[in-house]
């Protein structure tokens, strides 16, 4: 008999929607015929304490067997009917209120990164804490050539978009850089009239993943910034496509380190770039397999009991 796993996903976050997609697909592949997963999208208002006891009334009519919460725990009489509950935790969303709710309701805390687990190591005293890693959907395409530098910042303020543009503004000798960004509330300090031959801005959103992947595939060198406690789908998607990925920790890099990494890539031959791309793709496949195995073990040990 198949058990039903409900994945509660914040409805306003595109990244968490991708998380939910990955989690559902990975669980159903790891437990064929044993688990069925559905994704339940939750508006931000329903995570507030004032609404907590009626929250799930508009989210799920008949609870499944297991609930997995992405970033935030939802509370209601329906949620409390699940046999087991788990939280995939990130430090950014673990305020005092969220921690107290999780400590009361969940049976297992999972982490996507080792850094996140270390940051929250003393937070959850009752629940087992397990690092499982994470993965991203396979774009099912490869980069066209390892020539163009690109950076997809989306709406994140910690992806280093401004630092890259500042560097390219100082260095007119650098090769062409394509930067994607869309956030009217936090504009980049790089007016359109400053665009020149080696800087091209894409100031728009890709509403469909296929459109985003198609643009990503045009650029074989990806510049990725992410804090250590976060899992970056953009970085992983670049690896999956066989791109040369320069990964920089967004909270600790220096301009000199950034320039050094870019110069090293510029000195690579076409063959070396191609080999680096193949190694990136293999690393993506290895990490995806390891994530699936760790997730399966955690679910078996803590949730399917």
Contact partners, residue 248, CB within 8 Å, separation at least 6:
160, 223, 224, 225, 257, 258, 261
Alpha carbon 97 to its chain centroid, in Å, reads 24
Alpha carbon 283 to its chain centroid, in Å, reads 17
Pick the closest to residue 198 from 137, 254, 266 (CA basis): 266
Give the pLDDT score at 96.
83
Tens of pLDDT, residue by residue over 164-202, are 888 888 888 898 899 888 766 556 676 665 556 788 888
The C-alpha atoms of residue 72 and residue 244 are separated, in whole angstroms, by 34
Under 8 Å between Cβ of 38 and 4: yes
Query: Among the residues of 88-189, which ranges form H helices?
Result: 96-105, 114-119, 161-170
The C-alpha atoms of residue 89 and residue 132 are separated, in whole angstroms, by 11
Classify residue 120 by its DSSP letter: T
Mean per-residue pLDDT over the chain, rounded: 87
Tens of pLDDT, residue by residue over 73-103, are 988 888 889 999 999 999 988 888 888 889 9
The C-alpha atoms of residue 43 and residue 12 are separated, in whole angstroms, by 7
Least confident residue range of 30-39, 149-158, 265-274: 149-158
Interval 254-259 mean pLDDT: 85
Q: How far is CA 38 from CA 6, 8, 41, 62, 66, in A?
A: 5, 9, 10, 12, 11
Pick the closest to residue 124 from 72, 154, 150, 87 (CA basis): 87
pTM: 0.90
Domains in the chain and their CATH numbers? Answer: 3-134 (3.40.50), 149-286 (3.40.50.2000)
Q: At 249, is the pLDDT very low, low, confident or very high (cuts 50, 70, 90)?
A: confident
20 is written with which tokens?
């939910």
Pick the closest to residue 216 from 118, 144, 293 (CA basis): 144
Q: Is the pLDDT of residue 143 over 90?
A: yes
The C-alpha atoms of residue 143 and residue 165 are separated, in whole angstroms, by 23
Under 8 Å between Cβ of 202 and 179: yes
Under 8 Å between Cβ of 85 and 103: no
Under 8 Å between Cβ of 183 and 155: yes
Q: At 149, is the pLDDT very low, low, confident or very high (cuts 50, 70, 90)?
A: very high
């Amino acid at each position: 008999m198949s058990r039903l796993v409900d994945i509660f996903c914040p409805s306003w976050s595109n990244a968490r929607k991708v998380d939910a997609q990955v989690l559902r697909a990975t669980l159903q592949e790891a437990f064929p015929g044993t688990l069925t997963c559905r994704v339940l999208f939750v508006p931000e208002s329903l995570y507030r304490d004032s609404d907590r006891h009626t929250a799930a009334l508009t989210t799920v009519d008949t609870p499944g067997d297991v609930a997995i919460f992405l970033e935030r725990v939802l509370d209601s009489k329906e949620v409390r009917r699940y046999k087991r509950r788990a939280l995939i935790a990130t430090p950014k969303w673990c305020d005092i209120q969220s921690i107290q709710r999780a400590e009361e309701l969940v049976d297992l805390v999972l982490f996507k990164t080792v850094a996140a687990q270390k940051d929250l190591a003393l937070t959850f005293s009752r629940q087992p804490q397990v690092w499982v890693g994470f993965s991203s959907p396979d774009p099912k395409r490869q980069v066209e050539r390892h020539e163009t530098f690109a950076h997809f910042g989306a709406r994140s303020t910690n992806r280093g978009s401004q630092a890259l543009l500042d560097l390219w503004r100082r260095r007119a000798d650098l090769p062409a850089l394509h930067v994607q960004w869309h956030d009217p509330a936090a504009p980049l300090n790089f007016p359109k009239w400053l665009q020149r031959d080696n800087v091209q801005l894409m100031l728009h959103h890709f509403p469909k993943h296929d459109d985003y992947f198609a643009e990503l595939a045009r650029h074989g060198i990806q510049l990725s910034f992410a804090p250590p406690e976060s899992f970056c789908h953009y970085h992983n998607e670049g690896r999956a496509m066989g791109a040369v990925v320069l990964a920089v920790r967004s909270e600790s890099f220096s301009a000199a380190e950034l320039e050094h990494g870019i110069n090293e890539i510029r000195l690579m031959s076409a063959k070396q770039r191609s080999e680096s791309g193949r190694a990136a793709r293999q690393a993506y496949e290895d990490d995806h397999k390891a994530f699936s195995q760790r997730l399966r073990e955690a679910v078996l040990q803590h949730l399917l009991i």
